[in-house]
Amino acid sequence: MSYETFLNEMLVKLKHVVPEPEIYIKAEIAYEINRLKAERNAVILGHNYMEPALYHSIPDYVGDSLGLSRIAAQTDKDIIVFCGVRFMAETAKILNPEKTVLLPAQKAGCSLAASITAEDVRSLRARFPGVPVVTYVNTYADVKAESDVCCTSSNAAAVVESMNSEAVIFLPDEYLARNVAQQTGKHIIFPSRQKAEGETDLDYQLIGWHGRCEVHEQFTIRDIEDIRAQYPDVIILAHLECSPEVVAASDFSASTTAMIHYVEQSDAPLYLLLTECAMGDNIAAANPHKEMLRLCRVRCPHMNEITLEDTLAALQKTQYVIEVPEDIRVRAARAVERMIAIG
């Protein structure tokens, strides 16, 4: 494709969400990334939370954690460039030990992944012997390695049900755990790190943890009331990392991919997306005839680390290479592959 055609496609696609001068600058970088991607036999995976100019120009595949994990498991390219955060790039490496996996920005972390350690999981196992551990994919490799199976927001309830166990340890997102408890009708407890005197562990079916996504925890019932007062016909979609109260007050709640499909398949003219703000821009660009309200105070600072400039540098300098120690990788792979098999 010529540069002129590529630029024109970006101008059309992004005209309502990115200022035109910015598109001219970013199109040049994106075009060079795509040239280098072919030269280096690389594939670029882009999470739904990437900024719109990147999201609509360089990824070969876009999606949520589960979808991108599946693609990462099947790619025949030599290099995987993960435009997402570190735990996602780690998952790609776990599934592709022979391939070079690059994360364009070293500091692209995650508040949720940082909320729990492998030692925390071992302590919970010791406290609740024999209870299977389901871990959200938004965790680092050493935590996945201590788990029986991983899950994402799109299959969390199905994975919990598939355990066929009276009780399940579900880590580390407090709100996702509470939402899954509601979906599955299970009673949930959140044990303290150290057991208090007189505290009992007997009354539980789901055992949670106090991790939270620093983006989704910010949405409130007040946000929903304010928007509904101004736009009575608005359809409100909330990610399952939002609080159960926000989820209950919304019209639809699910994973990012299910939210995208909902907007594509619905006839409603106006939506509010209670999720990471760039995703609202990306859906708006893909659905120009529908209006998207966003509460754009909420941009994930970690996803925001990934830029077109850094992605170009990643391909030019082969940086930053993701490594996972083999003993951890093998155990983490079992949990991730089990999740993929459940679907």
Instruction: Pick the binder of ligand SF4 from 72, 103, 300, 333 (CB under 6 A).
Output: 300
Considering beta carbons, is residue 162 or 179 the nearer one to ligand SF4? 179
Bridge partners for 81 per DSSP: 44, 102
Written as one string, the DSSP assignment of 224-252 is: HHHHHHH-TT-EEEEETTS-HHHHHHSSE
Q: Which stretch binds ligand SF4 (CB under 6 A): 70-78, 300-308, 321-329, 330-338?
A: 300-308
Considering beta carbons, is residue 110 or 143 the nearer one to ligand SF4? 110
Considering beta carbons, is residue 53 or 85 the nearer one to ligand SF4? 85
Q: Which of residues 125-154 bind ligand SF4 (CB under 6 A)?
A: 138
The Cβ of residue 309 has, within 10 Å, a number of other Cβ atoms equal to 14
Instruction: Pick the binder of ligand SF4 from 292, 302, 315, 322 (CB under 6 A).
Output: 302
Cα separation, 229 vs 225, in Å, equals 6
* Kind and range of the H or E run holding 312: helix 308-317
Q: Taking CB under 6 A as the rule, does residue 213 contact ligand SF4? A: yes
Tokens of 120: 């925390």
Instruction: Pick the binder of ligand SF4 from 7, 14, 79, 85 (CB under 6 A).
Output: 85
Q: Which stretch binds ligand SF4 (CB under 6 A): 22-30, 98-106, 210-218, 265-273?
A: 210-218
Instruction: Pick the binder of ligand SF4 from 90, 146, 148, 276 (CB under 6 A).
Output: 276
Instruction: Pick the binder of ligand SF4 from 60, 120, 161, 214 (CB under 6 A).
Output: 214
Written as one string, the DSSP assignment of 86-142 is: HHHHHHHHHH-TTSEEE-S-TT---TTGGG--HHHHHHHHHHSTT--EEEESSS-HH
Please compute Rg for the chain using Cα positions. 20
Q: Which stretch binds ligand SF4 (CB under 6 A): 105-113, 218-226, 280-288, 322-330?
A: 105-113
Q: Is 23 left (phi over 0), alpha (psi -120 to 50) or beta?
A: alpha
Considering beta carbons, is residue 27 or 137 the nearer one to ligand SF4? 137
CA distances from 178 to 210, 211, 229, 240, 244 (A): 11, 12, 28, 9, 7
Bridge partners for 235 per DSSP: 271
Site string for ligand SF4, 17-56 (x = CB under 6 A): ----------------------------------------
State whether the Cα torsion 171-250-223-16 is positive or negative.
positive
Cα separation, 307 vs 50, in Å, equals 8
Tokens of 196: 């208090």
Q: How far is the CB of 211 from ligand SF4 (least distance, A)?
A: 9
The Cβ of residue 39 has, within 10 Å, a number of other Cβ atoms equal to 9
Q: How far is the CB of 300 from ligand SF4 (least distance, A)?
A: 3
- Which residues have a Cβ under 8 Å from the Cβ of 325 and sit 6 or more positions away? none
Q: Which stretch binds ligand SF4 (CB under 6 A): 107-115, 152-160, 254-262, 333-341?
A: 107-115
Q: How far is the CB of 112 from ligand SF4 (least distance, A)?
A: 4
Q: How far is the CB of 137 from ligand SF4 (least distance, A)?
A: 10
Q: Which stretch binds ligand SF4 (CB under 6 A): 9-17, 106-114, 152-160, 279-287?
A: 106-114
Number of residues that bind ligand SF4 (CB under 6 A): 12
CA angle 166, 247, 306 (to 5 degrees): 100
Considering beta carbons, is residue 131 or 240 the nearer one to ligand SF4? 240
Which residues bind to ligand SF4, rule: CB under 6 A?
85, 110-112, 138, 213-215, 276, 300, 302-303
